[in-house]
Amino acid sequence: MNKKLQSSAAVVLCMACGVLGAVSLGGLIYIPQYVTDAVASSTRPDKDRDRDANRKPGPVIAFAGIKPGQKVAELMPGGGYFTRIFCQIVGRKGHLYTISMIPAVKRDPPPPDAGTVAATANPCTNISAESQSAADFKLPPDLDVVWTSENYHDLHNAFLGKPDMQAYDRVIFEALKPGGIFIVEDHAAADGSGARDTETLHRIDPELVKQEVTSVGFVLEASSELLHNADDPHDAKVFELKGRSDKFLFKFRKPKATQTAVTTTPPSPVSTPVTSSVAAAAATVTATATARLTGQKIVAQPGSADLLLQLTTTDGEVQIAVSRADLKNLAALASKYSQGK
């Protein structure tokens, strides 16, 4: 982002600061350089790069918060698309565990998303790979992040044995450090469909995922619509859409102070749909006026026309997708706001 846009971004954040009563916001935070470097690595095969436009690895990983030195577990890594990025981000002081699920029922042919890591050259030496049955699922302790992308729905299918999802998610919860993160990204099914379409369309209702994961003690900290596709009617097999299916992206956190039994329901976090319109963006900022702003990010993928304004409040995270042109318009709006105070 050039200096002019940086100035515009700062004005927008000042507007948010004024509306929400925050005292200090600190500097702008972009996609970390270690994420940018990993995505741009020459060791990534062309087949991975061809998928970047749809999978948006830079913003998605920035949202997840994976960092150098962390211990990360990637569940059902498929062809290793994210594996080859994660291992470079966590680096020599970190470690990446990949866990593939052994089919309980042989399917011929297997679904395109059920494969193990392909034999593609990988310079990383910080990876431990293993295969397990979903029924006997286990993870190493003291993990910082557990990640699954486009495969959570498969755990509801016969070929993986339809494991007890509460038991499965509890293994993840127990393996994470207090404050650890569980990222779930998957293909969205129609509202209210539950697990109806997991076998046929390879989709799952986002609300079912929330219910299952939070039932073991996780808190939904944030959701992102980076991978949302409003043009997907949710009635086609995802493989027919060639990477353009509507996807949800959830960040669950294990509370730092955990209890052996959950007796109360934690407060629902702010979950505001992402919008690209200036008017709606301003309304979103104003609507969070009752929450205290504790942090902010502007996430920018190099070469992309879109930015993600992410405001962290005491109630959760609010995300606003804006184009660079809209950001300039928001800056003008902020200028008018400041002049009127």
Which tens digits make up the pLDDT trace of 231-254? 999 999 999 998 999 999 999 999
In a domain, 36, yes or no: no
CA–CA separation, 153 and 159 (whole Å): 12
pLDDT in tens, 165-181: 999 999 999 999 999 99
CATH code of residue 153:
3.40.50.150
- Same-domain check for residues 197 and 216: yes
pTM over 0.75: no
> Between the CA atoms of 232, 236, 238 and 239, what dihedral angle is there, to the nearest 10 degrees?
-130
Q: Does one domain contain both 122 and 250?
A: yes
For residue 117, pLDDT over 50 is answered with no
CB neighbour list of residue 72: distance below 8 Å, 6 or more residues apart: 66, 86, 90, 94, 95, 96, 97, 143, 144, 145, 146, 147
Asked, for residue 259, whether it belongs to a domain, the answer is: yes
Average of per-residue pLDDT values in the chain: 78
Point out the domain boundary residue: 242, 268, 294: 268
For residue range 41-54, list pLDDT tens digits in order.
999 999 999 999 99
Are 282 and 136 part of one and the same domain?
A: no
276: containing domain = 1-30+270-341
26 assigned to some structural domain:
yes
Q: How far apart are CA 44 and CA 270, in angstroms?
A: 36
On the question of pLDDT at 163 being above 70, the answer is: yes
Residue 316 has pLDDT above 90, yes or no: no
Q: Does 25 lie in the same domain as 145?
A: no
CB-based contact 63:249 (threshold 8 Å): yes
Residues 160 and 300 grouped into a single domain: no
pLDDT on residue 276: 39
Overall size of the chain counted in residues:
341
Chain-centre distance for alpha carbon 165: 20
Both 169 and 92 in a single domain?
yes
Domain boundary among 218, 236, 268: 268
Are residues 254 and 171 part of one domain? Answer: yes
Decide if 170 is inside a domain.
yes
Is position 45 within any domain?
A: no
Instruction: Supply the pLDDT for residue 123.
Output: 83
In the chain, how many domains are there? 2
- 46, part of any domain: no
